[in-house]
């Protein structure tokens, strides 16, 4: 019996070591790419200092990304335990906006998606310096978008230009990419990305959205659903549980 218990403990220990090696290998593999290696050399000490000044632990084991189209902002929220609430680390400037307010619904519409997504790709060899893919079309998009050509390949990337993506400067994407790699390396396979038309707490942005709906109210109900999620996070600094019904409507 003792031998059986010992064997089980050894297997559990080996599994833990293997998991740690796999996590570490993602970071090591990413650093092998020239642009990622350079980003770590240029940004890691700076990020450590900024985290320390804000009383945060570096590297963050969990990150959450929020982007606001009209306000041209991208926020990075961080925490180090699953049970913790998120704290704002930094707000970055988004270079430019493609399309208009409203969700992406078909290939070639130049729209930046709006809704609830997660990082599904790390591209260290991107033509746009570095890039992080988001999982557009998600379940809701697949129901509501063009069934044959909904579009795809939406990224948060550098090079400060876009047709339907979220563009940052090369300097900024390096910081965001490093933090995302660190989080994935720590075991966060699901890095959430929420994309909103506006910062719902900004009065001027809300006024713009109100005037926009007078001309085109097709997205008004959709934005009400997005605002529920925004308000929940603002109140609790925890992510809301978001589901999708058979009609593609977000349910919280």
Catalytic residues: 157, 165
Residue position matching structure tokens 């890039």: 131
Other C-beta atoms lying within 10 Å of the C-beta of residue 248 = 15
Beta strands in 99-231 (DSSP E): 115-123, 131-134, 154-157, 166-167, 192-196
Coil, strand or helix at 139: helix
Long-range contacts of 133-141, Cβ-Cβ distance < 8 Å, separation of 24 or more: 134/193, 134/195, 136/104, 137/104, 137/113, 138/244, 139/244, 139/248, 140/115, 140/116, 140/244, 140/248, 140/249, 140/250, 141/103, 141/104, 141/105, 141/113, 141/115, 141/248
Look up residue 110 and give its two tokens: 């130049």
């Amino acid at each position: 019996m003792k031998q059986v218990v010992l064997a089980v403990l050894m297997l559990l220990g080996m599994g833990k070591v293997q998991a740690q090696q796999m996590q570490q290998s993602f970071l090591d593999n990413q650093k092998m790419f020239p642009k990622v290696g350079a980003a770590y050399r240029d940004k890691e000490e700076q990020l450590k200092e900024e985290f320390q000044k804000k009383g945060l632990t570096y590297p963050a084991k969990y990150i959450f990304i929020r982007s606001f189209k009209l306000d041209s902002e991208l926020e990075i929220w961080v925490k180090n335990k699953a049970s913790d609430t998120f704290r704002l680390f930094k707000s970055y400037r988004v270079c430019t906006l493609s399309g208009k307010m409203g969700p992406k619904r078909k290939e070639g519409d130049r729209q930046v998606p709006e809704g609830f997504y997660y990082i599904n790709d790390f591209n260290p060899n991107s033509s746009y310096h570095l890039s992080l893919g988001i999982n557009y079309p998600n379940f809701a998009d697949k129901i509501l978008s063009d069934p044959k050509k909904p579009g795809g390949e939406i990224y948060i990337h550098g090079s400060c230009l876009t047709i339907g993506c979220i563009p940052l400067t090369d300097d900024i994407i390096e910081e965001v990419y490093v933090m995302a790699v660190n989080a994935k390396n720590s075991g966060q396979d699901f890095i959430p990305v929420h994309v909103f038309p506006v910062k719902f707490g900004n009065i001027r942005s809300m006024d713009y959205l109100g005037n926009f709906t007078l001309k085109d109210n097709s997205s008004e109900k959709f934005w009400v659903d997005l605002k529920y999620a925004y308000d929940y996070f603002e109140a609790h600094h925890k992510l809301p549980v978001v589901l999708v019904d058979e009609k593609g409507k977000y349910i919280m």
